[in-house]
Amino acid sequence: MRGRAPRKGRSVFSELVVAYLFLGGTGAGACAVMAVAGLLVDGNQLRLCAASRFLDEHGQAFGRFFGTGLAAGVAALALGMICLTADVGRPDRLMLLAVSEPTSYLVLGAWSLAACFGLGVLAALAWRGVLPASVVALRGLSALLVAVSFVTMTYTGLLLSSMASVPLWHNLWLPVMFVLSSLSCGIALVLASTLLGRSARAFARVLYALVRVDSLIIAAEVLVLAAWLVAVCAAAGAGSAAAESTPTDAAALASVRLLLEGPGALAFWVGLVAVGLVGPLAINAIVSFALKPSRSASVALPGQVAFLGSALGVLIGGACLRATVVSAALVPAAVGLL
């Protein structure tokens, strides 16, 4: 990833990197969600589906649901890799970067992203019956996909937080926030893709369960977002007489001001907080308590509209989170340029 010399009106990273951070996290989150769901499928049902290569009616329902969700995750990962490659300039430079860059998080992330993409493709093909797979193979593939997906979701936050020159990022709350956001965006992508692809008709209870899990994740994300901002200000000595005694402290506080009051404040307060967090929480509460899974094992139209509205809000919020976190980042030397 090419860093930019921070100047007034410019971000540390390019828009392509911001898109990569969002798409990579969302794709990995979707793969993680589908892999965990695959591990929770009843063994007897899975055995029957695998024996028929997902060709009977029951197996086709499973194949469509898991195949669609995984395909959406893999597509997001592919788009993210395209954005990263475009930012670097050439594919061979990306491979050289992965093997030669001294930052271990970057090397780990490059390979985890490739592994997540490869395992996601294999899992999608296996669930669709294109590749023969036993119950043991599907379970093993799902377990591996869970592991690499979580590494992929985590490494970007760890990479940014390891940059001591950017005080807004140099905080352990940032990786936690990125993981929670990636999981929430992954659930949103699964909900949207399976509903729009009409592959979730027999999985209403699964979708309602995902909505409830997403509500918990969003609530945790709100708390972590607040803890991150408080920690950045506390580390900079906010509220003390010497709050801006060092260039690093000044850069940290200036970054927080940019985030909350600067040109990107609209994206933060409206895109992230209102649309990405508060809105989906409200919608999910209505879905969880007012709308119940129908006896026909399908999602009724009001539920589908609610699911899609919540998913769209979460995805907008996830994109705004990464855009605002990157755009508000300042290094000590850049504060005087504002």
Q: What is the CATH number of the domain that holds 326?
A: 1.20.1630.10
Q: What pLDDT, on the 0 to 100 scale, is given for residue 30? A: 98
Mean pLDDT of 11-24: 86
More confident of the two residues 330 and 4: 330
Task: Look up residue 11 and give its amino acid.
Answer: S
More confident of the two residues 105 and 327: 327
Give the integer Cα–Cα distance in Å for 134 and 162. Answer: 42
Least confident of 109-123, 173-187, 324-338: 324-338
Which tokens go with 174? 């940032």
Overall number of domains in the chain: 1
Q: What pLDDT, on the 0 to 100 scale, is given for residue 286? A: 87
Give the integer Cα–Cα distance in Å for 196 and 217. Answer: 23
Supply angle C-alpha 43, 46, 152, rounded to 5.
90
Is there a domain that residue 5 lies in?
no
How many alpha carbons lie under 13 Å from residue 20 in its C-beta half-sphere? Answer: 22
Is there a domain that residue 297 lies in?
yes
Which tokens go with 12? 């540390």
Least confident of 92-106, 274-288, 306-320: 92-106
- The predicted model scores a pTM of 0.90
- Tell me what the pLDDT averaged over the chain comes to: 85
Is there a domain that residue 224 lies in?
yes
Does position 281 have pLDDT exceeding 50, yes or no? yes
Is there a domain that residue 3 lies in?
no
Is there a domain that residue 246 lies in?
yes
Closest CA to 267 of 278, 256, 259: 259
Is there a domain that residue 112 lies in?
yes
Q: What pLDDT, on the 0 to 100 scale, is given for residue 239? A: 45
Is there a domain that residue 10 lies in?
no
Q: Count the residues in the chain.
A: 338
The DSSP output letter for 335 is G
The domain of 224 spans 15-337
CB 317 within 8 A of CB 271: yes
pLDDT band, residue 334 (cuts 50/70/90): low
pLDDT band, residue 55 (cuts 50/70/90): confident
Is there a domain that residue 4 lies in?
no
Does position 226 have pLDDT exceeding 90, yes or no? yes
Mean pLDDT of 166-180: 94
